[in-house]
Amino acid sequence: KNEVEQSPQNLTAQEGEFITINCSYSVGISALHWLQQHPGGGIVSLFMLSSGKKKHGRLIATINIQEKHSSLHITASHPRDSAVYICAVRSGGGADGLTFGKGTHLIIQP
């Protein structure tokens, strides 16, 4: 079973700061997901990665397969980025579910 560790657990930053959230996993994967959960529970998929780097607006996700590590970066952070960010991995190639990290609670203060 894959173990997924995220750091930090909690992060408070000022508006405009560059944010990095880290994720490491123990076993080789077929895909890694970054998810965002706002207060109230709704989860939105931000990225799905199997190699390299993806960018969407101010969000950048990178993955290093050899090191079993991924990072989510937020540039020019804004209070509306405040949310829980969750890393999740799929280990197999079938339709099985994801294994999740415990999440990083991000607060961006104005």
Partner 1 sequence: DVKVTQSSRYLVKRTGEKVFLECVQDMDHENMFWYRQDPGLGLRLIYFSYDVKMKEKGDIPEGYSVSREKKERFSLILESASTNQTSMYLCASSNGLGGETQYFGPGTRLLVL
Enumerate binding residues for partner 1 (CB under 8 A).
1, 30-31, 33, 35, 40-45, 48, 50, 86, 88, 90, 93-103
Please say which residue, 13 or 31, places its beta carbon nearer to partner 1.
31
Instruction: Give dist(CA 5, CA 87) in Å, integer.
Output: 8
Give the shortest CB-73-to-partner 1 separation in angstroms: 20
The answer to whether 60 and 53 are in contact (CB under 8 A) is: yes
Give the shortest CB-105-to-partner 1 separation in angstroms: 11
3-state secondary structure of 93: coil
Give the shortest CB-67-to-partner 1 separation in angstroms: 19
